[in-house]
Amino acid sequence: MKRAIFPGTFDPFTIGHYSIVERGLSFFDEIIIGIGLNNTKKTLFSVEKRLDLIQQAYELETRVKVMSYNSLTVDFALSVHSDYVLRGLRSVGDFEYERTIADANRKLTGIETVILFTESKYSYISSTVARELISYGKDITAFLPPNVKI
């Protein structure tokens, strides 16, 4: 079985994230969306709320699981028997960061990183932009996966 983890803070999980997972399902038998707990990051939503929002998006998809973790991403991947990390790229800036992490992960554990480019129609969407809009009371429904309500 080909299993990948899709790690992130997902505060909130956007339509761009959703698109990466949906496209990733054509390469992997199972994808585990891993919400990484990072005590240095200030989040808008609790981990429980983020788990719930992502589970709403995949309530009918048995090949997607949602979990949280409080460890290095590669240690999480090993703990769930995953040989792959799935990541999405929006920009050149993302590439440099992701490449460095992917190289370190491969050196430490042999885990490969598979990168999918964000669909251009979603390239402007980020969790940061979504949080900013929420803070000003804007409706972000168009930024969220189908069936997800904040």
Are the CB atoms for 85 and 102 separated by under 8 Å? Answer: yes
66 class by beta-carbon count within 10 Å (0-12 exposed, 13-18 middle, 19+ buried): buried
Tell me if residue 127 is catalytic.
Answer: yes
Number of structural domains found in the chain? 1
Per-residue pLDDT of the chain (150 residues; tens, 9 = 90+): 999 999 999 999 999 999 999 999 999 999 999 999 987 888 999 999 999 999 999 999 999 999 999 999 999 999 999 999 999 999 888 899 999 999 999 999 999 999 999 999 999 999 999 999 999 999 999 999 998 888
Tell me if residue 131 is catalytic.
Answer: no
Which segments of 70-109 are extended strands (E)? 84-89
* Domain assignment present for 148: no
**Which residues, in sequence order, are bridge partners of residue 43?**
none
* Domain assignment present for 149: no
Here the CATH number for the domain that contains residue 122 is: 3.40.50.620
Given the residues 3, 23, 90, 131, the one annotated as active site? 90
Given the residues 26, 41, 120, 135, the one annotated as active site? 41
Helix (H, G, I), strand (E, B) or coil at 92: helix
Q: Give me the domain span that covers residue 125.
A: 3-143
Give every CB contact of residue 119 below 8 A, 6+ residues apart in sequence: 16, 19
pTM across the whole model: 0.95
* Domain assignment present for 68: yes
* Domain assignment present for 93: yes
Tell me if residue 46 is catalytic.
Answer: no
* Domain assignment present for 105: yes
